[in-house]
């Protein structure tokens, strides 16, 4: 495992923990300011600020338990691409059965120019996958 692999794996773990806690500010801090997400059936989400109301609504409605299953990673300099599966369990705060969602994802990460050089999510694309 390379240093970049370890750092990116740590970023994914930190992301999952922030989502589990419903920590909106911590999650958004892991996105570059010009973050773009293409999710199946939805208009593109453009910009970290545009993600705030979407995440806030999800955190208010659900307890989220995210996971990421890596299938492939390509790293070149300050850019990395991860291809795999996003697996999320959503538990409605108002009660009712939990739902597990599995979708294909392609993530582009960019090393931050800040002194800590952390990896941040720059682009994302998802589409529903087959049901298990």
Can you spell out the DSSP letters for the chain?
--HHHHHHHHHHHHHHHHHHHT-HHHHHHTEEEEEEEEETTSPPEESHHHHHHHHHHHHHHEEEEEEEEEEEEEEETTEEEEEEEEEEEEEETTSS--EEEEEEEEEEEEE-SSTT--EEEEEEEEEE----
pLDDT score, position 132:
55
Contact 83, 71 (CB under 8 A): yes
**pLDDT per position as a tens digit, 59-109:** 999 999 999 999 999 999 999 999 999 999 999 999 999 999 999 999 999
- Quickly list DSSP for 28-51: HHTEEEEEEEEETTSPPEESHHHH
Q: For the segment 36-67, what is each residue's pLDDT rounded down to a tens digit?
A: 999 988 899 999 999 999 999 999 999 999 99
The angle at the Cα of 82, spanning 77 to 84, to the nearest 5 degrees, equals: 170
Q: What's the pLDDT score for residue 129?
A: 77
pLDDT at 40: 85
* List of domains in the chain: 3-128 (3.10.450.50)
User: Residue 118: what pLDDT?
Assistant: 94
């Amino acid at each position: 495992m390379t240093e970049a692999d370890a750092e990116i794996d740590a970023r994914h773990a930190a992301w999952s923990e922030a989502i589990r806690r419903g920590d909106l500010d911590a999650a958004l801090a892991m996105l570059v300011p010009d973050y773009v997400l293409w999710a199946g059936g939805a208009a593109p989400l453009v910009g970290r600020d545009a993600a705030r109301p979407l995440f806030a609504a999800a955190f208010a409605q659900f307890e989220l338990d995210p996971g990421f299953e890596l299938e492939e990673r390509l790293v070149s300099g300050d850019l990395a691409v991860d291809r795999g599966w996003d697996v999320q369990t959503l538990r409605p705060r108002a009660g009712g059965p939990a739902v597990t969602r599995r979708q294909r994802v392609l993530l582009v990460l960019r090393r931050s120019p800040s002194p800590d050089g952390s990896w941040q999510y720059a682009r994302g694309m998802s589409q529903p996958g087959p049901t298990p």
